[in-house]
Structure 1
Amino acid sequence: MNTDQILAEIREANLSYLMLAQSLVRADKEQALFRLGVSEETAALIGSLTPAQMMKVATGNTLLCRFRMDDDMVWNLLTNHGKGSANDGMSRLHASILMAGRHQEAA
């Protein structure tokens, strides 16, 4: 994959993310804050973007979204690395609880 292809993929991911984020914010702001891991100010800004503004923001060369699972414990819970599938639901619930706590810390 060359640089132009990577930049095109980043732009596409950014636009998809912005469209999803705006949709979440407009549907249920509180849930959007939790699911996106953004501040109220950022959510308000995303919710008010026009389509032209979203296109302009999306054309940057940096991804707008990022992984919020910054530690091995959450990744292991989400992927069930080294575990059977019997505890899949419980592992995902545990990971969600951990990430929810981090959202509260950031807010």
Structure 2
Amino acid sequence: MNADQILAEIREANLSYLMLAQNLIRADREQALYRLGVSDDTATLIATLSPAQLMKIASGNTLLCRFRMDDDLVWGLLTSHSKTTTNDGVSRLHASILMAGRHQEAA
């Protein structure tokens, strides 16, 4: 994959992310704030963007979305390969609780 292809993929991911974010915010704001990990002010801004503004923002060469799981504990919980489904469910629930707490800290 060359540099031009990577930039095209980034732009496509940006547009998809912004469109998804806008739809989530408009459909259920509280869920969107949690799922996207954005502040209320950021959600308001994204919700009010016009299609032309979405395209302009998405056309940059920097990826707009980022992983919120930036510590080893959350990654460990999400990627655990436990043998039982019950433990897997508990691990995912624990990871969700940790990420929700981080969302509250950010807001």
Instruction: Determine the C-alpha separation between the residues in 2 that align with 1:65 and 1:79.
Output: 20
Cα distance between partner residues in 1 of 2:19 and 2:55? 10
Identity of aligned residues (%): 79
Deviation at 1:99, TM superposition (A): 0.4
1:69 maps to a residue whose letter is M
* Alignment partners' CA distance in 1, 2:97 and 2:74: 10
* Partner Cα distance (1:57, 1:85) in 2: 44
User: After superposition, what is the alpha-carbon deviation per residue over 1:7-47, rounded to whole angstroms, capped at 9, x for unaligned?
Assistant: 00000000000000000000011111111111111101100
Matches within 5 A, 1:59-98: 59-81=59-81, 83-86=82-85, 87-98=87-98
Q: Identify the residue that residue 42 of structure 1 maps to in structure 2.
A: 42
Rounded to whole Å, the distance in 1 between the matches of 2:51 and 2:83 is 45
Gaps of 5+ in 1: none
Aligned length: 106
Q: CA deviation at 1:85?
A: 3.8
| Cα distance, 1:71–1:54 mapped onto 2, change above 3 Å | same
Match of residue 101 from structure 1: 101
For the residues of structure 1 that align with 2:14 and 2:97, how far apart are their CA atoms? 27
Counterpart secondary structure, 1:54: helix
Q: Aligned equivalents of 1:40 and 1:69: distance in 2?
A: 20
